[in-house]
Amino acid sequence: MKDDPLRLELLKELRALRRSPAPLSIEQIAGSRRLVEFAGNGSAEQAHGVLLDLLDQQQFLGETDVVTYFATCGIGAEGDSLNNRLKDYAAAHYVDERTVLRHSDAGADKLSTIVRDLSLLARPLGRINLVQRGDAVTCQILIRLPKHSKYRQPDVYLNRSGEKIAGLDWALTDAPDDGDWLVAAETLPEHPLRVTNKTDRYTPIWSVAVYWLMPVWASWATAMELSDSRLSTVLSVTRNYRAEVALFFDQERP
């Protein structure tokens, strides 16, 4: 899949920051529109603080590429230009300047992914709506994504069976409330709920899993209407681009 264009803009800004004659500062970051937007929520001062905090985190984790990137920005190496900082860092670590630049490039790439993931709003959004009617359940899945996003249709699996639901179109249309977004929705067929005396309250009686592989991790929410107090749901989201809603039945509930 092609890369996320906003991440590429962040990467371009991060690489440009290395060319400043002075160490990384609030004034420099103020000219980096996407960094201010994603890392600072509109504040250059906050973005500067977030970047320094990320440096501390990566140092603790032993992430040398990101640490090298910050050194080439003047935090960890001396010099009034990128070339001079490359020379200083290379001499201090007994490596070639090209090796330092290669690690700095890799660090900028990793940092752009980290900063891109900080945005709560400029990312794909999904919602799973669940409605129980008697002994059956219906489910609607809605997705929403910025128009600039690269797009891949979600895959939907029912009841952890490993079988993908076929025939879903995911026809994208403009969001009625914001022309910069696209939306799509799919309603699954009504599914009967089978409860027996052997039903385990820790084992779902129904579940739906959505795998939506996008360049940026999607945020998920759920809404539900359950008339039976013995029913409950759990929404789980994992880093492999998967969101699942599982329905549980507890016979001991009133």
> What pTM value is reported for the model?
0.67
186 confidence band (pLDDT: 50, 70, 90): very high
Average pLDDT along the chain: 90
Confidence check: pLDDT of 1 > 50: no
- φ/ψ (deg, to 5) at 191: -125, 130
Whether the pLDDT of residue 162 is over 90: the answer is no
d(CA 171, CA 183): 8
241 phi/psi in degrees, rounded to 5: 65, 30
Residue 95 corresponds to which amino acid?
Answer: V
pLDDT score of 193: 87
Q: In terms of pLDDT, which residue wins out, 162 or 136?
A: 136
Q: How confident is the model at residue 235 (pLDDT cuts 50, 70, 90)?
A: very high
Tell me the percentage of the chain whose pLDDT exceeds 90: 64
Residue 254, pLDDT score: 66
Residue 194 has pLDDT above 90, yes or no: no
Measured from the Cβ of residue 173, the count of other Cβ atoms closer than 10 Å reads: 9
Please, what is the end-to-end C-alpha distance for the chain in angstroms? 49
Residue 74 reports pLDDT greater than 60: yes
Note the pLDDT tens digit of each residue in 206-232.
999 999 998 777 889 999 999 988 999
* 200 to 154, 205, 227: CA distances (angstroms): 30, 9, 20
What pLDDT score does 242 carry? 93
| 86-139 pLDDT, tens digit each | 999 999 999 999 999 999 999 999 999 999 888 777 788 999 999 998 889 999
Q: What ranges make up the beta strands (E) of the chain?
A: 125-133, 136-146, 155-158, 173-175, 178-192, 206-211, 219-225, 231-238, 242-249
What are the residue boundaries of the structural domains of the chain, listed by start? 5-116, 125-249
Rounded CA gap, 180 and 84, in Å? 43
Confidence at residue 71, expressed as pLDDT on a 0 to 100 scale: 96
Residue bearing the bigger pLDDT, 36 or 200 = 36
Share of the chain above pLDDT 70, in %: 99
